[in-house]
Structure 1
Amino acid sequence: MHLLRTGAFLRAARSAELAVHGLRASVPASCSQSRWSSSQVAAEEQRPFPNQSVEPSREVDPNKTAAGSKEDSVQADFKKRLQKLGQENKILHENLSGAKILGNPYIFDETSNVSDSILNLVGRNLYDIPDHPIAITRNLIESCFPFPEFNHFTVKDPVVTVKDNFDVLGFPADHPGRSRTDTYYVNSNHLLRTHTSAHQHAAFQSLVAEKYVTGYTICADVYRRDSIDRTHFPVFHQMEGAKVWGLGAGESRFLAQTARTAKIAKQLDALPKTDIEVEDQATVFSKENNPIQSEHDPVELQLVVKHLKRSLEFLVEQIHKAAKESLDPAAREAFGPLKMRWIEAYFPFTTPSFEVEVFWKGEWLELLGCGVVQQPILNNAGLRYSIGWAWGVGIERFAMLLFGIPDIRLLWSTDKRFLGQFSRGKITRFEPFSKYPACYKDIAFWINPSPAGASPVGAASSATSGVAAAAGGDATKASPAETQPAAFHENDIMEVVRDVAGSLVEDVKLVDEFVQPTSGRKSLCYRINYRSLERTLTNEEVNRLHDEVAAKMKSRFKVELR
């Protein structure tokens, strides 16, 4: 299906790399209420990005220690060697360990947990490949937030500071997302970003000096240690967007806010209406679960929330239309009307906060999160007395729905049989080119009873079933700065399987666990489904991979194989 709209399709990529923050801006496609255009404008435009108070992503030297000059010299020499001789995105082990990631050298420390298999995926930039489903989906989303009202940024370098990824956004020190079980740490100061919000501060700063631009989107690859299945991958793509309204100059505070409230109401009325069947369960904001910020006027806040919801309802409708029109006529009839609902949610950097769910194949599927931006975030970016909303979405979830892609690994495939099915400006349904046989192998092992093993099986109240934090972290060691031994976490075996077999594994599932009554030791059994998307794996190849997984589990985590 061609993405058509009335009039010209404005889509020009700004090529300027924004030196301080690594943000690259591009002019998005404009979007009308119902139709899209596949024509493109080749002109390139450069726009400066304000160099304000936020530090660049490497503002803390990861190689600097409090040790004596001899140690400093050793680290400096190794850093130079990394820069000169280190292979791009490959770990170098000598007297020290480190890696050159996208041209920047980093020395590892006791917090580092990145691996070659993850670094091999850095720099693929699928969102910048015009004929790739990720880029096509990105362009569709961007077009619903048109320039000049919105600037659009991409950020190629995924290495950010702990400060930008967590601290600036108000993540508590013990938040499970900070755990090494959940996040890839380059060293104690740097990590592979876990969300595009790591660049939110810089993007908000970019709006301070703008006259006409009042919003932005950011698109980038993000990294999380996670389970292995058809819908999860350690690298995925996020987009987030935001819009703010400031107070006019030269007026009293009361008159300026009155004028702003009227402006928001006028812009709300101008937003396109949708035909979606919407259920809104989040119209009343509770002090306990979804509080209104003390700085906000309730009447104006309601308008901002309505503007946010209407904007995202339009986005969801356009995604739904694009998916439906890509089907043949018979399948369109069975596609059915779109149903969506709003529910309350919690996010550290918005309140009140909401989630969007759509009814898909008989169940409610979460699509995105959003809310009203926490005032300190705007204040710290130089947008004091402004009010705004923000949202975030995983592009893979939209892309898999749009193109009918059944396995997230396909999005990272370089097979021409996959890539050749897609072209810019079109939504086409994925046609499977083959179904290769699976090969199941089980691995069972004992883990120590202390501190605690984390697994999804068993009663949560059981003292022996382990404690898994909601955000995927290990509740016994939520901070990477803690020195206690980490409990075994399910993500540990996922990481070993990724290191050994990469994309040759379709999923890894816990199939059995029990606790030995006398010793208190826990036994876990995982089933690994080896299946390539591109060829048939031999039994000898699978056996070799499985033996290597078992050996690494034994040596790395000191488990006793059964």
Structure 2
Amino acid sequence: FFFDSFVMAWVRRCGQLIVKRAPRFSRFASHTIEQHYDIEGERIYTDDFCNTSTHILNKVGRKLHLVHTHPLNILKKKIESSFSDFQCFDDISPAVSTWQNFDSLLIPEGHQARSPKDTYYLNKDTVLRPHTSAHQHDLLSQGHQKFLVSGDVYRRDEIDRTHYWVFHQMEGVKVMQTADPAEVEADLKRSLEAMVQQLFGDLKAEDMRWVDAYFPFTEPSFELEIMWQGDWLETLGCGIMQQEILQRAGADQNGKCKAWAFGIGLERIAMPLFQVPDIRLFWSENKRFLSQFEDGKISTFQPLVSLKDYPPNNQSISFWVPEGFVDNDFYDLVRAMEFADLVEEVELFDDFTHPKTGRTSKAFHVIFRSPEKTLTTAEVNEYMAVLRDLVVQHLGVELR
């Protein structure tokens, strides 16, 4: 379920496409927007609304949550074991219609949540799902009353150790034969507290707290936080499903049923549980990574070399931006680079509007660090030269 802070970040439509033709520096930026994409056996034709490059789609089909002994798979199985009577759906295509992603969840036309600022569109009517909630209506319409959905989800987002343009979500839905919201809320909280205790150990009552929240698809809505290593950790979001969602799916039995739903980001939980310091490591193809983990066991990640032994290389870039520029335009340009996985973080550190001309300047730190090797200064300088050239070509900025 799309229960997290990102739902509030969908604010406005971004401007132009980032890459529409092969850039001059094809060695590092060969990813383009194609006329069509083949995704999970379906051919999808792009149009001028498409903001999804081939680099983003390279992750489709990896399905880390299905890889045996991968931390995300171990976590997924543990969550599923807490809901043993739920049906599990974990191999649904991430390409969904805008109706599935928005309309079925009561997000109206013109709502800011439909903005391509944070969502990857394949064409005007098709997106890469930014949340597993996109499958709620279909599964409810098919008569499923207790189910879990897990899969890869995609968002245009900031770049740092805890954010990646593709990650994995798991969502649970339970339809109950009652019209009493208090009964539904009690069952929801009892079920999720039991699940979290199974994941994090024998938590005391005072180590868990419920926080009121807002999500457009549930009312009331909550977040469950736990005390973990001396600080409060947000584990999931949840709530009682809006009744109209059930009605549209033909699952409310004339008001005799209500439902609850929850959503959990697998990487968000796996990072503290397995003590993985950088989200990029989940995508490692190094056999030494997966060989550390054992099916059914939560164990501490043991890097052969500490991340701190690979020093960061801090670069910066500043430019005057055109009207309509949003920071995610720049982040997505970085993601389109062949060297994107060598960028640990991109941070906006200065946002200045000239008092006389009204022009806006932005400055970003671009921090390079590989989780698996030391980068040379010559390598990083070459990458930055490419980035400076392409930010002018494709975002229409003026370097400072």
The TM-score with structure 1 as length reference comes to 0.62
Which residue does the alignment assign to 1:494?
Answer: 331
Contact 2:33 2:53 in 1 (8 A): no
**Paired residue for 2:182, among 302, 313, 322?**
302
SS of residue matched to 2:352: strand
Query: Matched residues in 2 for 1:502 and 1:557: separation?
Result: 17
Matched, 1:376 2:244: yes
User: What per-residue deviation string (whole Å, max 9, x for no partner) do you get for residues 165-204 of structure 1?
Assistant: 0011011333333111100000101010010010001221
Which amino acid is the alignment partner of residue 317 of structure 1? Answer: Q
Matched, 1:560 2:398: yes
**Paired residue for 1:137, among 49, 53, 75?**
75
**Paired residue for 2:109, among 160, 163, 173?**
173
User: What per-residue deviation string (whole Å, max 9, x for no partner) do you get for residues 454-492 of structure 1?
Assistant: xxxxxxxxxxxxxxxxxxxxxxxxxxxxxxxxx211111
**Paired residue for 1:388, among 259, 280, 290?**
259
User: What per-residue deviation string (whole Å, max 9, x for no partner) do you get for residues 45-65 of structure 1?
Assistant: xxxxxxxxxxxxxxxxxxxxx
Query: Matched residues in 2 for 1:111 and 1:317: separation?
Result: 44
**Paired residue for 2:93, among 157, 161, 167?**
157
- Larger RCO: Structure 1 or Structure 2 (Cα < 8 Å, ≥ 6 residues apart)? 2
User: What per-residue deviation string (whole Å, max 9, x for no partner) do you get for residues 396-426 of structure 1?
Assistant: 1111121111111101111122121112111
Deviation at 1:99, TM superposition (A): 2.1
Contact 1:91 1:99 in 2 (8 A): no
Q: How does 1:213-292 map to 2 (within 5 A)?
A: 214-246=145-177, 260=178
Q: 1:132 to 1:338 in 2, by over 3 A?
A: farther
Deviation at 1:350, TM superposition (A): 1.1
Deviation at 1:236, TM superposition (A): 0.7
Q: 1:92 to 1:370 in 2, by over 3 A?
A: closer
Q: How does 1:496-511 map to 2 (within 5 A)?
A: 496-500=333-337, 501-511=339-349
- Whose strand proportion is higher, 1 or 2? 2
Query: Matched residues in 2 for 1:102 and 1:355: separation?
Result: 33
Which residue does the alignment assign to 1:57?
Answer: none
Which residue does the alignment assign to 2:317?
Answer: 443
Which amino acid is the alignment partner of residue 314 of structure 2? Answer: Y
Contact 2:342 2:369 in 1 (8 A): yes
SS of residue matched to 1:219: strand
Query: Matched residues in 2 for 1:101 and 1:389: separation?
Result: 31
Between the two proteins, the alignment pairs up a number of residues equal to 363
SS of residue matched to 1:551: helix
SS of residue matched to 2:156: coil
Deviation at 1:499, TM superposition (A): 1.1
Query: Matched residues in 1 for 2:340 and 2:40: separation?
Result: 21
Which amino acid is the alignment partner of residue 303 of structure 1? Answer: E
Contact 2:33 2:52 in 1 (8 A): no
Query: Matched residues in 2 for 1:381 and 1:92: separation?
Result: 35
User: What per-residue deviation string (whole Å, max 9, x for no partner) do you get for residues 311-340 of structure 1?
Assistant: 111111111119x9xxxxxxxxxxx99712
Contact 1:304 1:389 in 2 (8 A): yes
Give ranges in structure 1 of 5+ residues lacking alignment.
1-89, 209-213, 247-259, 261-295, 325-335, 451-486
Deviation at 1:116, TM superposition (A): 1.6
Contact 1:320 1:338 in 2 (8 A): no
Deviation at 1:102, TM superposition (A): 2.9
Which amino acid is the alignment partner of residue 493 of structure 1? Answer: F
Which residue does the alignment assign to 2:137?
Answer: 201
Matched, 1:425 2:296: yes
Query: Matched residues in 2 for 1:400 and 1:547: separation?
Result: 33
Query: Matched residues in 1 for 2:120 and 2:33: separation?
Result: 17
Q: How does 1:301-340 map to 2 (within 5 A)?
A: 301-321=181-201, 339-340=207-208
Which amino acid is the alignment partner of residue 131 of structure 2? Answer: H
Which amino acid is the alignment partner of residue 495 of structure 1? Answer: D
Contact 1:229 1:507 in 2 (8 A): yes
Query: Matched residues in 2 for 1:203 and 1:102: separation?
Result: 19
The ranges of structure 1 where at least 4 consecutive aligned residues each deviate by more than 4 angstroms after the TM superposition are 90-93
Query: Matched residues in 2 for 1:310 and 1:103: separation?
Result: 40
Give ranges in structure 2 of 5+ residues lacking alignment.
1-30
The TM-score with structure 2 as length reference comes to 0.87
Matched, 1:541 2:379: yes
Contact 1:207 1:215 in 2 (8 A): no
SS of residue matched to 2:264: strand
Query: Matched residues in 1 for 2:52 and 2:241: separation?
Result: 32
Query: Matched residues in 2 for 1:177 and 1:223: separation?
Result: 14
Q: 1:91 to 1:509 in 2, by over 3 A?
A: closer
Q: 1:338 to 1:495 in 2, by over 3 A?
A: farther
Which amino acid is the alignment partner of residue 155 of structure 1? Answer: D
Which amino acid is the alignment partner of residue 175 of structure 1? Answer: H
Moved more, 505-514 or 101-110: 101-110
Which amino acid is the alignment partner of residue 318 of structure 1? Answer: Q
Which residue does the alignment assign to 2:366?
Answer: 528
Q: Which has the larger radius of gyration?
A: 1
Which amino acid is the alignment partner of residue 532 of structure 1? Answer: S
SS of residue matched to 1:168: helix
Contact 2:236 2:264 in 1 (8 A): yes
* RMSD, aligned α-carbons: 1.9
